[in-house]
């Protein structure tokens, strides 16, 4: 793993914090994307430990503090906790994107004023699907997505969401297609963690 070179200076060793929290798992994992990896990030190990979550969210909040954000938006389920904590540290309101009729929308009377600057946040960036769905809901509600912040970026390639992307922690975690799994990894029983349904 390598630390994100563009994150702000912090007195907290985020890599060590993640390892100690049990969020970094080693083995043979089938990711929701269908690819195989020897490293998996169990986000709920982070989301259940306020000290760890607060440190990671603090990196996002500090980075975007000068950007004039008016709202922080996150998707269900874990993104709600992240949006709340980042918004709390930035002193703005949070909104939550939920499922409704196979679409991602704002529910429960939540409103984003037209033209409001919104920071979209999520937990682990791998394929970018959850971030794109959240962006779609924000734009459909009239908001302007002025930045994207994630706790952990493990994407194989740089992604373009139409605004600045910042990760509290960037890792180099290789993954392989099902027909490209190396022998040493294939020898380890495969696990399928995660919650997103295909």
Residue 125 in domain: yes
Structure confidence at residue 12 (pLDDT): 62
> For the chain, what is the domain count?
1
Query: 106 in a domain, yes or no?
Result: yes
In tens, the pLDDT along 74-104 reads 998 888 999 999 999 999 999 999 877 887 8
Write out pLDDT tens, residues 162-183: 999 999 988 777 889 999 999 9
Residue 73 lies in a domain: yes
Residue 142, token pair as written in the block: 């009239």
pTM, 2 dp? 0.81
The residues near 152 (Cβ < 8 Å, ≥ 6 apart) are 18, 41, 43, 56, 123, 124, 125, 167, 168, 169, 170, 171
Say which residues have a Cβ less than 8 Å from residue 91's Cβ, sequence separation at least 6.
none
Beta-bridged to residue 147, according to DSSP, are 119
Q: What is the CATH number of the domain that holds 68?
A: 3.40.50.2020
CB of 169 within 8 A of CB of 138? Answer: no
| 59 belongs to a structural domain | yes
Residue 185 lies in a domain: no
- Residue 18 in domain: no
Strand partners, 72: 94, 119
182 lies in some domain: no
């Amino acid at each position: 793993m390598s630390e994100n070179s563009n994150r702000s200076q912090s007195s907290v060793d985020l890599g060590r914090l993640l390892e100690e929290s049990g969020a970094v798992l080693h083995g043979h994992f089938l990711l929701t994307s269908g690819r195989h990896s020897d490293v998996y990030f169990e986000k709920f190990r982070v989301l259940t430990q306020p000290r760890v979550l607060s440190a990671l969210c603090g990196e996002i909040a500090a980075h975007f503090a000068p950007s004039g954000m008016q709202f922080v938006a996150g998707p269900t389920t874990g993104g709600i906790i992240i949006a709340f904590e980042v918004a709390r540290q930035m002193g703005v309101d949070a909104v939550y994107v939920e499922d409704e009729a196979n679409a991602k929308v704002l529910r429960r009377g939540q409103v984003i004023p037209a033209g409001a600057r919104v920071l979209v946040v999520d937990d682990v960036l791998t394929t970018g699907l959850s971030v794109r769905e959240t962006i779609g809901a924000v734009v459909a509600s009239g908001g302007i997505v002025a930045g994207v912040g994630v706790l952990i970026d493990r994407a194989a390639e740089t992604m373009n969401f139409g605004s600045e992307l910042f990760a509290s922690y960037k890792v180099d975690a290789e993954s392989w297609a099902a027909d490209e799994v190396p022998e040493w990894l294939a020898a380890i029983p495969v696990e399928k963690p995660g919650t997103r349904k295909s």
